[in-house]
Amino acid sequence: MKKIQIIVFSLFYLYNYSQNRELDSLQNLYNNTEIDSVKIELLNEEIGYFYERNNPDSAIYYYEKSIEMANSHLKNIDKKPSNEQLTYLKLKANALRYIGIVYYEKGTYDKAIKNVLESLGIYEGIIGNTKNKQIIIDAKNGQTYCFIPLGNIHYDQSSFDKALEYYTKALRIHDELGNVQPKSGCNVNIGNVYFEKKQLDKALEFYFKALEIAESLGDKKSMSKCYNNIANVFSLQNKFENVIEYYSKSLKIKEETSDKHGVAMVNTNLAELYVRMADSLYEKNNPAKRLEALNLAIEHGKRGLEIAKEIDALPLINPSASAIMRAYKRLGNFSEAFKYAEIYMESKDSMFQDEKIKSISDAEKRFETEKKQLMIDKLNQEKEINEYELLVQKEQADRQNLFIWFIISGLLLMVVFAVFIVNRLRITRKQKKIIGLQKKVVDEKNIRLNQHIEEISAQRDEIEAQRDLLEVQNQHIEYQKQRITDSINYAKRIQEAVLPTGEYANRILGEHFILFKPKDIVSGDFYWATRINNFLIVTVVDCTGHGVPGAFMSMLGVSFLNEIVRKKEVTKASDVLDSLRSSIIEALQQKKMLMHNSRVSLSVKDGMDLVLCVLDINTKILEFAGANNPLYIVKTNKELIELLPDKQPVAIYEKMKPYTNNTIQLEKGDAVYLCTDGFSDQFGGEKCKKFMAKNLKVLFVEIAEKSMQEQNVILNDTFNKWKGDTDQIDDVTILGLRIE
């Protein structure tokens, strides 16, 4: 636990360092600016926004500071409206709106409404005091920016009529100004209000309006959202065919954009839908269609569950497992239903807690059983005593009758009877004494029984106390687990932030793809690229281990590469590896130690396997240096070239030698592949064997002529199909690059 905290703290420090540098640059820009309107805009749009997510109170402070500066200027300006006055009024209105949005996100609705309404009033005043068309347009756009958060606040408070009023006002202004894209969002908001009010036809009307705008703009994200909303309305109307149509359209877009969470969500929705369809078909006595619906529910449910497990999305694992379980139950396949019922239950609560609760329940049952048995024993003993007393009473009655008969029989027998009576009296006293002793024994047993009952009650109280303690401990364990998971997820966001992606990667690498599949939340693999003059330097690295330890090593690797290549401008491939090895050895304090048998022992074996290329953009000459990992090149004539690495890691090693610098002339259209061993080492297939490097090379040759995006999809699908239900054993990284 302590090691994890140290690693996360180190990653958090690196992230904060970059954040602080950004803030420092903004502060310097603010201090070096002499124009107050520019300063106010910096406070609103840059500095305040910087703090808005991380420290809302600081954001409010800077927004209020910008308002003070604007008010100071407004006091010194002539009351007659001027462009300067309107500029500062607009800046003040923006700051008030931003403050309102911060309070909205904090849940302080009264302050949010107060500030946004004040901002809205300023925009209305600006419109009434100028004839400048551009200023009027800006102010009207500002009004829409106020109407939307006001609508959101009332929507969250279930004041749907008021929310509808503000959303409609925003839509009306966008229509007036010809703002096309914002109209889509306004129509979605209005549709959401009608959806909550159960006015489903009106909701559909506005969702379709939003969809029409999104389709005209080619905005796939908005299109997918509209398809989902429309499908949700049709679902409430039990129009199953329409629901399937629009969920399928949404699913297609989410698959095209590699939105794994969205793909899992839509598949789960489809699984739930087909279960409902099956129930409806059962009532209509249509067994063939019902069987088809249940099979489709299982298919989509398993697809959703697979992806949900891959991205660790518990809220999707639970409903997808539930849908599959219910589908199998309706098919009569109770073994499969039970299998997914277990997944459903595991996602809902931990097995550990269930077992503990069950043990407490069993203890309570044993207590009640034992208590009942003791009561039965006590009643049996009391019954035996009562029967014995009745027998004694009966004997006494017989004796009295016999005594009367003796008197009647005559005086002659009096002596005999007298002797008999004396003897019987003696026996009676003895019997009474025995009865007294037996009652004493019974009383003692009753006392012990009551004591035993009290002891059992005390044990039960102790069991209940232990159960309460167990619940507290479970809550503490869940809390600690959540803290660790949150920390690792935060580390994942930091790790992803330092990897080249998006527009930056496209600008540096040109036509390329990156297949990056961490085994755990954070990865021991990483990729890195930069350009120095006319040289493109790119590398794919496999650090020792995976998960948090591997991620820590990857952050060290990124830091050292930035120092070696970007700052020192080392551009020879073998020199970069030599310098990186020296930095790793020094950072990890790795040493060689001589053992008693004269063999060398390494104090720390952590390190990296990597493939690194330096490409001259002008001449297309490529330099390659590798540590245990080769480089693959597929020429335009489908010839595969494999450049072999040095068999030594980037770390301390028994026999260290300088890395080899390989050079090769490339041509336009050649495909270059850098990868770790995670793909080729993955177990899978029918016989659960490794994929093997030879099969990966064949695959590279088969797909080399396709676009880089198609290659990425093929490699990802091949890996997932090969792996199947087998666990991923290592991080996987492949970077493909087309020579331009």
Q: For residue 355, what pLDDT is reported?
A: 44
Looking at residue 288, its pLDDT comes to: 85
pLDDT (0 to 100) of residue 663 = 97
CATH of the domain at 135: 1.25.40.10
CA-closest candidate to residue 532, choices 573, 581, 586? 573
Contacts of 719 (CB under 8 A, 6+ apart): 515, 517, 679, 682, 691, 732
Provide the 3-class DSSP secondary structure of residue 683: strand
- List, for residues 203-230, the tens digit of each pLDDT value: 999 999 988 988 898 888 888 889 889 8
Q: How would residue 545 be classed by pLDDT, with cut points 50, 70 and 90? A: low
Under DSSP, the state recorded for 527 is E
pLDDT at 372: 44
Whether 222 is covered by a domain: the verdict is no
Mean per-residue pLDDT for 324-352?
80
CA 220 to chain centre: 24
Pairing of strands 512-517, 732-738: antiparallel
What are the pLDDT digits (tens) for 19-31? 555 666 666 667 7
* Alpha carbon distance 287, 294 (integer Å): 10
Contact 316, 308 (CB under 8 A): yes
Partnered with residue 541 across adjacent β-strands are 526, 610
DSSP SS3 for 690: strand
Amino acid at 445: K
CB 232 within 8 A of CB 198: no
Alpha-carbon distance of 74 to 700, in angstroms, equals 67
Contacts of 14 (CB under 8 A, 6+ apart): 494, 555, 559
Dihedral Cα 622, 625, 631, 633, nearest 10 deg? 10
Spatial contact of 608 and 544, defined as CB atoms under 8 Å apart? yes
Question: For the segment 79-129, what is each residue's pLDDT rounded down to a tens digit?
Answer: 556 777 888 888 888 889 988 888 888 888 899 999 999 988 988 888 888
Tell which phi-psi region holds residue 15, choosing left (phi > 0), alpha (psi between -120 and 50) or beta. Answer: alpha
pLDDT over 90, % of the chain? 32
Helix axes 109-128, 83-106, angle to 10 degrees: 160
pLDDT tens readout for residues 653-704: 988 999 999 999 999 999 999 999 999 999 999 889 999 999 999 999 999 9
Kindly state whether residues 440 and 550 are assigned to the same domain: no
- The amino acid at residue 575 is D
pLDDT digits (tens, 9 = 90+) for 284-322: 677 888 888 889 889 998 998 898 888 888 888 888 888
Backbone angles phi, psi at 536, to 5 degrees: -100, 120
DSSP string, 607-668: -EEEEEEEEETTT-EEEEEEEB--EEEE-TT--EEEE--BSS-BS--TT--PPP-EEEE--T
Q: What value does the mean pLDDT take over residues 460-489?
A: 60
- Residue 733, domain CATH: 3.60.40.10
- Residue whose C-alpha is closest to residue 515's, from 736, 706, 737, 670: 736
Number of domains in the chain: 3
| Distance from C-alpha of 10 to C-alpha of 495, rounded to nearest angstrom | 12
Whether 615 and 630 share a structural domain: yes
Q: Which of 457, 477, 492 is the last residue of a domain?
A: 492
Clarify whether residues 705 and 580 are in a common domain.
Answer: yes
**Per-residue confidence (pLDDT) for residue 388, from 0 to 100:** 53
Query: In this structure, are 415 and 563 located in the same domain?
Result: no
Residue 576 lies in a domain: yes
Residue 726 CA from chain centroid, whole number: 21
Check residue 13 and give its pLDDT.
38
Instruction: Give the C-alpha separation, 716 to 714, whole Å.
Output: 6
* Main-chain dihedrals φ then ψ at residue 179, nearest 5 degrees: -80, 105
**679 alpha carbon, distance to own chain's centre:** 25
525-532 vs 535-543, strand pairing mode: antiparallel
**Per-residue pLDDT at 562 exceeds 60:** yes
**Domain final residue pick, 178, 198, 222:** 178
Cross-strand pairs, 514: 735
Same domain for 506 and 487, yes or no, is no
Specify whether the CB–CB gap between 562 and 645 falls below 8 A: no
Contacts of residue 474, Cβ cutoff 8 Å, sequence gap at least 6: 350, 352, 353, 356
**Among candidate residues 172, 89, 164, the one with its CA nearest the CA of residue 125:** 89
Note whether 488 and 535 are same-domain residues: no
Instruction: List, in sequence order, every residue forming a beta bridge with 684; answer none if it has no partner.
Output: 689
Distance (Å) of CA 175 to CA 111, 170, 179, 396, 505: 30, 9, 6, 113, 38
Count CA atoms within 13 Å of residue 331 on its CB side: 24
Task: Band the pLDDT of 39: cuts 50, 70, 90.
Answer: confident
Residue 371 lies in a domain: yes
Question: 3-state class of 689 per DSSP?
Answer: strand
- DSSP, collapsed to helix, strand or coil, labels residue 84 as helix
> Which residues have a Cβ under 8 Å from the Cβ of 503 and sit 6 or more positions away?
none
* pLDDT for residue 672: 97
- If asked whether residues 441 and 521 sit together in one domain, one would say no
Does residue 115 lie in a domain region?
yes
User: Tokens in use for 381?
Assistant: 């003993």
Dihedral sign (CA 636, 637, 638, 643): negative
| Alpha-helix runs per DSSP H in 499-525 | 502-509
In whole angstroms, give the CA distance from residue 206 to residue 191.
5
Helix (H, G, I), strand (E, B) or coil at 571: coil
> Closest by alpha carbon to 629, among 606, 646, 641?
646
Position 134 in a domain = yes
- Counting other chains too, the contacts that 459-462 makes at CB distance below 8 Å and 24 or more residues apart are 459/367, 460/363, 460/364, 460/367
- CA dihedral sign, ordered 131, 137, 142, 148: positive
Together in a domain, 40 and 141: yes
Mean pLDDT value across the chain: 80
- In terms of Cβ atoms closer than 10 Å to its own Cβ (0-12, 13-18, 19+), residue 122 is buried
Write out the two tokens for 123.
Answer: 């925009």
Residue 116 lies in a domain: yes
Are 467 and 523 contained in the same domain? no
Distance CA 729, CA 722 (A): 13
Q: How far apart are CA 611 and CA 627, in angstroms?
A: 6
Element (H, E) at 536: strand 535-543
Q: What is the CA radius of gyration of the chain?
A: 41
Is 484 a domain residue?
yes
* Residue 624, pLDDT above cutoff 60: yes
Give the Cα separation of 526 and 543 in Å (integer). 8
Q: What whole-number distance in Å separates Cα of residue 59 and Cα of residue 100?
A: 11
Strand partners, 517: 732
Q: For residue 535, give its domain range.
A: 499-738
Quote the CA–CA distance of 235 and 238 in Å, as a whole number.
Answer: 5
Name the residue with higher pLDDT: 327 or 414: 327
- Of the three residues 178, 208, 232, the one that is the final residue of a domain is 178
Contacts of 490 (CB under 8 A, 6+ apart): 8, 11, 12
Task: Yes or no: say if 609 and 596 are a contact pair by the CB < 8 Å rule.
Answer: no
| Residue 537 pLDDT > 50 | yes
Report the DSSP beta bridge partners of residue 512: 737
**Is the domain of 504 the same as that of 410?**
no
Distance CA 496, CA 385 (A): 84
The reply to whether 532 and 476 lie within a common domain is no
Asked whether the beta carbons of 376 and 387 are under 8 A apart, the reply is no
Give the DSSP H or E segment for 737.
strand 732-738
User: Nearest CA to 275 among 226, 233, 326?
Assistant: 326
What pLDDT sits at residue 412?
Answer: 66
Claim to verify: residue 681 and residue 558 sit in the same structural domain: yes
Q: Is residue 13 a part of any domain in this protein? A: no
Amino acid identity of residue 375, one-letter, is M
The pLDDT of residue 51:
81
Higher pLDDT, 544 or 331: 331
Q: What is the rounded distance in angstroms from the CA atom of residue 203 to the CA atom of residue 194?
A: 5
